[in-house]
Amino acid sequence: MTPTNALRPVDPEIAELIDAEERRQRDTLKLIASENYVSAAVLEASGTVLTNKYSEGYPGRRYYEGQQVIDQIETRAVERAKSLFGTPHANVQPYSGSPANLAVYLATVKPGDTVMGMSLPMGGHLTHGWSVSATGTWFNAVHYGVGRETGRVDMDEVREIALRERPKLIFCGGTAIPRVIDFPAFAEIAREVEAVLAADIAHIAGLVAGGAHPSPVGHADIVTTTTHKTLRGPRGAMILANEEYAKAIDKAVFPGLQGGPHNHTTAGIAVALREAATPEFAAYAQQIVANAAALADELLARGFQLSSGGTDNHLVLIDLTSKGVAGKPAAKLLDRAGLETNYNTVPYDPRKPFDPSGLRIGTAALTSRGMREGEMREVARWMDEVVTALAAGEDTAEKAVAQVHGEVSELTARFPVPGLDR
């Protein structure tokens, strides 16, 4: 949605930059696993007069007057979240995924308590107790990882660590996990050590909603998620909880960590949840997984090494070591060719996090544009051409970038961008 006539006279520089970003989003292939395109309806709901209203508190219990409309909007978002995920309680106020996870800590443990999560280099998240995060500073964090040969979580190892360390809170889920998460097994371990189990499904919430990944609801005590990524909503977050933790979660979000919610975002979340409850969204979720499998298979056929050997969801984690290049220069060259990725650590990576061995890619955004398995095989071919050229040297790389970018432009012209092309 291009800037309106109201913006251009006031700030033509920002208007032009928004135009430029819109062109960039149209003309590139968005392969970043944590990004997506919202619908025109979500985009419209997120940019409304709701941004003018302060609403500290919860529906029916606000600290500001004039909440007659806002209460209805937030209530609808909450009820839709509860219905979509089959949970007894939902909080739609967290500003993003990290504050949502911080609320879980505030609601369930005290500083110095032992907590357990997946190691960040193995695919976990900063807020699962990693050292550079506040969660690694305030709590005694212990971690599990993946097998060096399998690239998968070993639940026997998770149980062994849990029995030894006796954490009070266990996180499952993460940011670079290409395989199905075994929620029942995590729940069994959490019960055995009397820990609270929190499932972070920020990446796979849309797949869960669409029936393309098992749900943690009924296994985890608390579930956190962002509302963008595969769920295809605005940049916000939600916390789902059973009745035992409902009040503690609400109190942790407000007044524990935040002031008033962003009402325009709440409206966008409500719209996205309504869209996610449709048969069309379920078909979309299934196609995300099918596309990721096709992309992974073609990459494997072209000699790429994939963490865990493939994928069960939207995400593919590539180890470029065998290709003779590192993740950072590969990501930058791919971006110039119109293939938007992010460099990423791979399990047991010998390189530093800011210059790692891998790339993380996903299929949610390309699927939103209507692309299917055939296009995924083309994407794999282009990635192979650029990475191979990078290894061959600067002159070869420049030629590959020009060639691939032209072909990418031809493809993107055939597939409209949700929310932009109507």
pLDDT tens digits for range 316-327:
999 999 999 999
pLDDT tens digits for range 206-217:
999 999 999 999
State which residues form the domain around 385. Answer: 286-413
Of the residues 22, 56, 71, 297, which is catalytic?
56
Q: Which residue has the tokens 């650029």?
A: 386
User: What is the predicted pLDDT for the residue at 421?
Assistant: 82
Do 208 and 330 lie in one domain? The reply is no
Let me know if residue 5 belongs to a domain. no
Let me know if residue 12 belongs to a domain. no
125 is in an annotated binding site: yes
Measure Cα distances from 314 to 35, 36, 206, 323, 333 in Å.
11, 12, 10, 23, 23
Do 335 and 229 lie in one domain? The reply is no
Domain boundary among 226, 243, 277: 277
User: What is the predicted pLDDT for the residue at 5?
Assistant: 80
Domain boundary among 247, 277, 307: 277
Let me know if residue 11 belongs to a domain. no
Do 102 and 245 lie in one domain? The reply is yes
Measure Cα distances from 189 to 113, 158, 244 in Å.
18, 8, 19
Do 182 and 310 lie in one domain? The reply is no
Of the residues 28, 114, 225, 226, which is catalytic?
226
Do 295 and 179 lie in one domain? The reply is no
420 is in an annotated binding site: no
Catalytic: 229?
yes
SS (H, E, C) 321-374: HHHCCCHHHHHHHHHHCCEECEEECCCCCCCCCCCCCEEEEECHHHHHCCCCHH
CATH number of the domain residue 264 falls in: 3.40.640.10
- For residue 37, the SS3 value is coil
Average pLDDT, the chain: 97
Domain boundary among 277, 304, 333: 277
Do 322 and 239 lie in one domain? The reply is no
| Residue 2 pLDDT greater than 70, yes or no | no
243 is in an annotated binding site: yes
Catalytic: 65?
no
Catalytic: 226?
yes
pLDDT tens digits for range 286-336:
999 999 999 999 999 999 999 999 999 999 999 999 999 999 999 999 999
378 is in an annotated binding site: no
Do 175 and 110 lie in one domain? The reply is yes
Let me know if residue 14 belongs to a domain. no
Let me know if residue 418 belongs to a domain. no
CATH number of the domain residue 293 falls in: 3.90.1150.10
pLDDT tens digits for range 167-204:
999 999 999 999 999 999 999 999 999 999 999 999 99
Do 50 and 189 lie in one domain? The reply is yes
Catalytic: 54?
yes
Percentage of residues of the chain with pLDDT beyond 70: 99
Polymer length of the chain: 422
Q: Does residue 105 come out as left (phi exceeding 0), alpha (psi in the -120 to 50 range) or beta?
A: alpha
Let me know if residue 206 belongs to a domain. yes
Do 405 and 292 lie in one domain? The reply is yes
